[in-house]
Amino acid sequence: MQAQCYNSISRMNNFTLQDAVGCVVAVVVFASALYVPGFLLGYATDLFGFRRMGAAHRSLWAIAVSFGVTPSLGYFVGKYAGLNVACGLLVGLSILFLIVAWRLREGAKWSRRDVVLAAVGVTAWVAFVVFSLADIQVGGKLYFSVVEFDQSYRVAFTDAVLRTGVPPANPLYFAGRAQPMRYYYFWYVVCAMVARIGHVSARQAFMASSVWTGFGLAALVGLYVRHFLGVAGNVRRQTWITVALLAVTGADLLPAIGSIFGQTALNGEMEWWSVDQVSSWQDSVLWVPHHIASLLCCMMCFLLLWMLRENGRTKHRIVALILAGVAFASAFGLSIYVAFGFALLMLAWLLRLVVGRRKDFALARNMVLAGVVSLVLLAPFLREMTGTASRTDSGASARAGHVFSLSVRRMIDPQLLTGLPVFAAWNKAHPVLLDQAMRIVLLLPGLALELGFYAAVLWVLLYARRKNDARDLALYLTGWGLAMVLLLRSAVIDSNDFGFRAALLPQFFLLLLAGDLLASWWSPGRVQVVARTPWRRRMLYGLMALGVAGTVYQGVMLRIFLPLEEHYPANGFSRLPEQVFEARTAFAQLDRVADKSAVVEFNPVDPRPGTRGDVVSPYTFYTRSLMMNAGRQILSAEEKCASEFGGDSGPCADIERSTARLYALPAPTAAWASQYCRRFGVQYLAAGAMDPAWSDAGGWVRTLPPVASQPEFRIVRCDGR
């Protein structure tokens, strides 16, 4: 009977097909946000001779400029005119683009080779992202990707923009009324516009955003090869070489395999071997596309400033300066961490321009002017960020009110050394000093493991390099960027988000340098950046192969983690695929009978904490799935209410205490649960077999009227209406 129920539900809701189709639709609609605005702006201003460019070159600029302007455009129009007006503006611009494109149909065309390469590349990339992120449905089971651990927040934020507009309400915390969000949310505005125009879900739109950040990376690489490195030979060859290097990560595969034998449970993410990871490009694009989008805006700003050195036309200079300022404003609204790191790098560059041998006060002036433009544009957003009361996460540094702190990065856990008997006395007398000292000792080995091939490229270029302004500047900014992320860390939250995300900046310059080096080796007749000796070739090619293997391992593990863990009942994952399927099915049923403005609550407290050590628990994955699929305001989505994303933390203690009681044994009565809902403004409660209250036949879970019911999951109405 239960199997028949599962099969009938599966026929009604094929979630894999829904996600795949919705993602593809969103990928197409994203062109209206991340291609059309940049194309029209470039055409209207003839930016750097845009109208005379070939079709492929023009498309690179269209994507890059769109990434720079659309997030700010969506924010301002959404904030002051509404999300629907912002969507209407994108639709109107798309119609105008079709008219302009029709007029240009006889102009520069794509070559047959470009069309074939683009079609194959786009199809393969879209298929890879869908496979990596969508829930895979097998009968009555749903196998999620490990990425859901982080993406659940991003989908909830995007859904909040769809429901509440700009600025959005914090979807993870509700204290009797909507709480204004205090977070960088520009990317979620862009995703929400795409979701509304394409009539797809927030989840499907956010999945598609990973596809487009991949397109954006490829576009910026192409522009940097041509306009920053100034390659005079085969630009196409070097561009494809550099884009291909996005599939190369560090030497993470070695410690990741070691952790398989050194831990009692499996890591679903290769990067988790490190305390303060340096993420692969694949990891960043899939997990945090908004940080990649911020990187692209920063790199767009940098490229515009660089190109102004040789462009003397006043019109182009003014347009480029304004675009640079808008791009940095967008970067800040997409990721404060990446934008702050970029600002520090620009200060380092400004210092070099002013006090270096070649003083360039005109370029320094342009940097300052672009900064002024961005500050003016950011004023409303900064008022939101500073004017909304919010509680920060726990932690001594957070309570002290510091945003950043000086600390040596922990890539390899220093406890591997501090716990040795030889350090027992020092550890007892000066534990902090010992910890920092061991971090310094492990810094270079950790960096070598995290960067792998790119660390070798950096060493080779520093050891023997030819004079080139762009390459020298890239090395200079790489050095400053690495120093910045190795010695400065986030202090607001426990994880080092600044170190994780700002590392994208030196990573991008290292990517360009690596592509330049290999292209000089592989292009006949070109002067080699560094002489290709046998030992250099063996070292770089070997590390490159290891980096590709690491990327493959990482991608595969994201998908097979749950199927592997399912076969080990002791780890607690054996029933999770069925439970996640039932929960998503129940919320799909709720969508048919309940308004999107309703408030829901599920149990955010793990009933069996600490059963897997440092590895993510099954219940954490379970609650992240509920967060992603709820599609509504949640009373409290975390064990400690998520007021750090916005809202008055005053009611937190009462909400946390009452919610813990609601889901505990013995389960409260229906009357108690109804009183709970009226008190906190909740309309629906969700519970499943993993919650202690589920097993009490006389409790509220079984006695309140269900609106969606599955064998091991139920949503009940609790407000008495």
Write out the two tokens for 715: 């949503």
Give SS3 for 167. Answer: coil
Task: Please report the DSSP string for 195-235 in residue order.
Answer: HHHHT--HHHHHHHHHHHHHHHHHHHHHHHHHHTS---S-H
d(CA 26, CA 226): 30
**Are residues 602 and 686 in contact, defined by beta-carbon separation less than 8 angstroms?**
yes
d(CA 487, CA 407): 5
- State the CB neighbour count (10 A cutoff) for residue 703: 15
Write out the two tokens for 378: 């950011």
- What does pLDDT average to in each consecutive run of 10 residues of the chain (721 residues)? 42 80 96 96 91 89 96 95 95 94 71 79 93 92 92 94 93 87 93 96 96 96 92 82 94 85 74 87 94 96 88 76 94 94 92 75 86 92 72 40 74 80 78 84 90 94 74 92 89 78 95 93 84 91 95 93 84 88 94 91 83 70 93 91 84 91 92 93 93 91 92 87 58
d(CA 319, CA 477): 26
Give the per-residue pLDDT at 366.
86
Q: How far is CA 144 from CA 17, 72, 140, 716, in A?
A: 14, 33, 13, 25
Question: Whole-prediction pTM value?
Answer: 0.93
Give the per-residue pLDDT at 426.
78
Give the per-residue pLDDT at 3.
39
Write out the two tokens for 666: 């013995």
Please give the DSSP secondary-structure letter assigned to residue 180.
B
Q: Which helix (H) or strand (E) holds 684?
A: strand 684-688
d(CA 356, CA 360): 9
Q: Which residue, 627, 617, 26, is CA-closest to 266?
A: 617
**Are residues 156 and 171 in contact, defined by beta-carbon separation less than 8 angstroms?**
yes
| CA torsion angle 505 509 514 516 (round to 10) | 150
Q: Give the total residue count for the chain.
A: 721
Task: Please report the DSSP string for 111-123 in residue order.
Answer: -HHHHHHHHHHHH
Residue 119: beta bridge partners? none
Domain ranges of the chain: 7-246+291-387, 248-287+391-561, 575-717
Give the per-residue pLDDT at 721.
58
d(CA 121, CA 113): 12
- State the CB neighbour count (10 A cutoff) for residue 71: 31
R_g over Cα of the chain: 26
User: 């034998």: which residue's tokens?
Assistant: 261
d(CA 286, CA 151): 9
Torsion sign over Cα 390, 392, 397, 403:
negative
Q: Which residues contact 540 (CB under 8 A, 6 or more apart)?
A: 453, 456, 457, 460, 517, 518
Give the per-residue pLDDT at 465.
59
> How far does Cα 183 stand from its chain's mean position?
14
Strands (E), 350-443: 404-406
d(CA 153, CA 139): 27
Give the per-residue pLDDT at 720.
57
